[in-house]
Chain A
């Protein structure tokens, strides 16, 4: 109970730690490889960060309610194949439907929102543990990915949908001035969610539900609707990330984004949002996701073998969460 009070103060420390590490890391990598700070490299980092970031924002909402969403990776892939499939200009396409770019985006995001809605219903209505419900949805959504891709592309089951479309290229590779389009989308999502969580009644209710559902209910909040809303939003945002991924590659793969959900959860945890819910926020996740993007890109650029990246990532995750607990204790 004690931990949940004063959520803003509590996570100041972990966020500060991650922020300092982020700055140190950035200058460290630049010192070893000056190209790391080149515009091209930074552009690359920002684009990776945005793609992961959008889905991580949705994950933050879900974790704030005390849940988790393991289906996020599969949902990303689903939005990719639905969006790319409906375009109707895929190579060796069997799908006669030809929709304009905007409609395919709308259809993909609706499908993902629907998956999120079902997640929310299973958790809020059927009272299935979030881990279990979304684990099941991870399987189901992945199977829908295969069904969709196979109905669009002739040939071997599970073939990717390869296509050319200006709209998607803009989404995944485009720039407005020097700024990547996906970064703008990411910042828009971030600001909207930040304002939502901070200034709206429903946003505050998310924290209340995560803190203690029963008390939230007694305070006149309907926890069920808050939970359903959060999972639906998480689905939509994972879908948007999926479209960006597809736009970046001009190809929607059936095995895309496998295991990404754990990356999103890692980013959220690094940002100081507790897995029990009720504390943390999207600002921390912005920091967490930046940290991971800089670290992954930097370690690649200094030619660190990928083995060590695993070791470093695992260690930092535990240490960051532990450090937070320690700093909290000292404060008390």
Chain B
């Protein structure tokens, strides 16, 4: 209902106001990101170079793709810990089916097909894992944390079983498959192109479709949502399927980028992804969040990581700052609540 009203209102307002409306809820983290970039450009040489910027975008696009879908999952009050394992499964399946992919284990030599067919199969397997998550959560009523924790263990087992523990490499990597990780569209890296598409699709889903609007309602109060005629179970299940597909897509891009699929790929990615989403203002308890915030959240971590790498600081600085940023950002939101932003968040 509220979504409808808001939509009517936005039709009348000008483009400038619309941009203001979209930006305002994220002002604090946008400012944080800008400040970080200024600081990094002052202390880290070459931070602002075109090559480095492209690198940041390319590296973070992979986690970014997952975090868009994770935003949807968190919005419903769920969580998905299995994304790192799904990432590995999809990467391994696609690599083994692609012409040129080989390993010392039988599954990689059984069957080869066209690159796009291989990707489609990889994504389907990932979707199945997501579907299993969704069904366990909605039909068996197992808490999302436990259900996806179990799936994280289970899917990791599938990856080991499928690859035999051997990495799958390419001899040589087909050009069309290499494009996904290393290619460009014009000057934009291919992973970034896919990330932008996924982010736009995610924003559109949340803003303009009844499915997307229903996720806010489900996260706010599931019983009320159900009573107002929303098919809560189906929609929640769908978020896990989307999550699976996006984790799979990210895994496939990573496989293409490093030209290798390994059984240990994506371990503990779920934590990075969830951290980025939460930093972007999405509530872990559901009902509030946005795709734009998530994109900013992911890039804040990306900029910190990249800057510290350029400076050559040991990795533990990164760990420390990352933890501190989460506590300050999320805790600060409670200490200094901004009424207006908290009401308007949950748009684009």
The reply on A44 being an interface residue by CB < 8 A is no
Q: Which residues in B have their C-beta under 8 angstroms from that of A305?
A: 160
Q: Give which listed residue, B153, B275, B326, B334, contacts A314 with CB less than 8 A.
A: B153
Report whether B322 and A139 are in contact in the complex, using a CB–CB cutoff of 8 Å: yes
B136's closest neighbor in chain A, by CB? A318
With contacts A68-B145, A126-B334 taken as known, whether A139 is within 8 angstroms of B140 at the C-beta atoms is no
Q: State in angstroms the CA–CA spacing of A150 and B314 once bound together.
A: 11
With contacts A129-B284, A142-B316, A259-B268 taken as known, whether A269 is within 8 angstroms of B146 at the C-beta atoms is yes
Q: Which residues in B have their C-beta under 8 angstroms from that of A129?
A: 278, 283-285, 330
Q: Which residues in B have their C-beta under 8 angstroms from that of A314?
A: 150-155, 157
The reply on A310 being an interface residue by CB < 8 A is yes
The reply on B258 being an interface residue by CB < 8 A is no
Q: State in angstroms the CA–CA spacing of A126 and B329 once bound together.
A: 11
The reply on B296 being an interface residue by CB < 8 A is no
Q: B300 to chain A: closest CB distance in Å?
A: 14
Q: Beta-carbon contacts of B318-330 to A below 8 Å, as 1s and 0s?
A: 1110111111001
Q: Which residues in B have their C-beta under 8 angstroms from that of A68?
A: 145
Report whether B149 and A143 are in contact in the complex, using a CB–CB cutoff of 8 Å: no
Q: B223 to chain A: closest CB distance in Å?
A: 11
Report whether A136 and B326 are in contact in the complex, using a CB–CB cutoff of 8 Å: yes
Looking at chain A's contact residues, is the secondary structure mostly helix, strand, loop, or mixed? helix
Residue among A146, A150, A314 having the largest count of chain B Cβ atoms under 10 Å: A314
Q: Which residues in A have their C-beta under 8 angstroms from that of B143?
A: 274-276, 321
Q: State in angstroms the CA–CA spacing of A307 and B162 once bound together.
A: 9
Q: State in angstroms the CA–CA spacing of A157 and B141 once bound together.
A: 46
The reply on B274 being an interface residue by CB < 8 A is yes
Q: State in angstroms the CA–CA spacing of A133 and B278 once bound together.
A: 11
The reply on A127 being an interface residue by CB < 8 A is yes
Q: B333 to chain A: closest CB distance in Å?
A: 9
With contacts A129-B284, A306-B160, A317-B153 taken as known, whether A140 is within 8 angstroms of B146 at the C-beta atoms is no
The reply on A206 being an interface residue by CB < 8 A is no
Report whether B157 and A311 are in contact in the complex, using a CB–CB cutoff of 8 Å: yes
Q: Which residues in B have their C-beta under 8 angstroms from that of A307?
A: 157, 160-161, 165
Report whether B157 and A143 are in contact in the complex, using a CB–CB cutoff of 8 Å: no
With contacts A126-B334, A318-B142, A322-B140 taken as known, whether A135 is within 8 angstroms of B153 at the C-beta atoms is no
Q: Beta-carbon contacts of B186-205 to A below 8 Å, as 1s and 0s?
A: 00000000000000000000
Q: State in angstroms the CA–CA spacing of A275 and B78 once bound together.
A: 13
The reply on A184 being an interface residue by CB < 8 A is no
Q: Which residues in A have their C-beta under 8 angstroms from that of B330?
A: 126, 128-129, 132-133, 136
Q: State in angstroms the CA–CA spacing of A126 and B317 once bound together.
A: 24
Q: Give which listed residue, A140, A142, A143, A315, contacts B150 with CB less than 8 A.
A: A315
With contacts A122-B331, A138-B271, A310-B160 taken as known, whether A325 is within 8 angstroms of B142 at the C-beta atoms is yes
The reply on A265 being an interface residue by CB < 8 A is yes
Q: State in angstroms the CA–CA spacing of A70 and B278 once bound together.
A: 15
Q: B33 to chain A: closest CB distance in Å?
A: 18
The reply on B63 being an interface residue by CB < 8 A is no
The reply on A196 being an interface residue by CB < 8 A is no
Report whether A139 and B323 are in contact in the complex, using a CB–CB cutoff of 8 Å: yes
Report whether B319 and A310 are in contact in the complex, using a CB–CB cutoff of 8 Å: no
Q: State in angstroms the CA–CA spacing of A315 and B271 once bound together.
A: 22
Q: A138 to chain B: closest CB distance in Å?
A: 7
Q: State in angstroms the CA–CA spacing of A137 and B328 once bound together.
A: 12
The reply on B15 being an interface residue by CB < 8 A is no
Q: Which residues in A have their C-beta under 8 angstroms from that of B154?
A: 310-311, 313-315
Q: B322 to chain A: closest CB distance in Å?
A: 5
**A residues 126-174 with Cβ under 8 Å of B?**
126-129, 131-133, 135-140, 142-147, 150, 157-158
Q: A52 to chain B: closest CB distance in Å?
A: 15
Q: Which residues in A have their C-beta under 8 angstroms from that of B151?
A: 314, 318
Report whether A126 and B331 are in contact in the complex, using a CB–CB cutoff of 8 Å: yes
Q: Which residues in B have their C-beta under 8 angstroms from that of A274?
A: 143
Q: Which residues in B have their C-beta under 8 angstroms from that of A139?
A: 319-320, 322-323, 326
The reply on B44 being an interface residue by CB < 8 A is no
Report whether A140 and B323 are in contact in the complex, using a CB–CB cutoff of 8 Å: yes
Q: Give which listed residue, B155, B156, B165, B319, contacts A140 with CB less than 8 A.
A: B319
The reply on B259 being an interface residue by CB < 8 A is no
Q: State in angstroms the CA–CA spacing of A276 and B145 once bound together.
A: 10
Q: Beta-carbon contacts of A66-91 to B below 8 Å, as 1s and 0s?
A: 00101000000000000000000000
A131's closest neighbor in chain B, by CB? B284
Report whether A317 and B327 are in contact in the complex, using a CB–CB cutoff of 8 Å: no
Q: State in angstroms the CA–CA spacing of A265 and B154 once bound together.
A: 16
Q: Which residues in A have their C-beta under 8 angstroms from that of B285?
A: 129
With contacts A139-B320, A142-B316, A306-B160 taken as known, whether A128 is within 8 angstroms of B149 at the C-beta atoms is no
Report whether A135 and B157 are in contact in the complex, using a CB–CB cutoff of 8 Å: no
The reply on B128 being an interface residue by CB < 8 A is no
B155's closest neighbor in chain A, by CB? A314
Q: Give which listed residue, A126, A135, A146, contacts B274 with CB less than 8 A.
A: A135
Q: Which residues in A have their C-beta under 8 angstroms from that of B11?
A: none
Q: Beta-carbon contacts of B167-190 to A below 8 Å, as 1s and 0s?
A: 000000000000000000000000
A121's closest neighbor in chain B, by CB? B331
Q: Beta-carbon contacts of B121-151 to A below 8 Å, as 1s and 0s?
A: 0000000000000001000111101110111
Q: B168 to chain A: closest CB distance in Å?
A: 16
The 10 closest A-B pairs by CB, nearest first: A310-B157, A314-B154, A139-B323, A140-B323, A146-B316, A126-B331, A143-B320, A136-B326, A143-B319, A143-B316
28 contacts between A and B (CB under 8 A): A126-B327, A126-B331, A126-B334, A129-B285, A131-B79, A131-B274, A132-B278, A136-B324, A139-B326, A140-B319, A140-B324, A143-B319, A143-B323, A146-B315, A146-B316, A262-B81, A306-B160, A307-B160, A309-B157, A310-B154, A310-B156, A310-B160, A313-B153, A313-B154, A314-B151, A314-B157, A315-B154, A318-B150
Known: A129-B284, A307-B165. 10 other contacts (CB 8 A): A126-B331, A128-B331, A129-B283, A136-B275, A143-B320, A262-B149, A262-B152, A307-B160, A317-B150, A321-B143
Q: Which residues of A contact B (CB under 8 A)?
A: 68, 70, 122, 126-129, 131-133, 135-140, 142-147, 150, 157-158, 258-259, 262, 265-266, 269, 274-276, 305-311, 313-315, 317-318, 321-322, 325
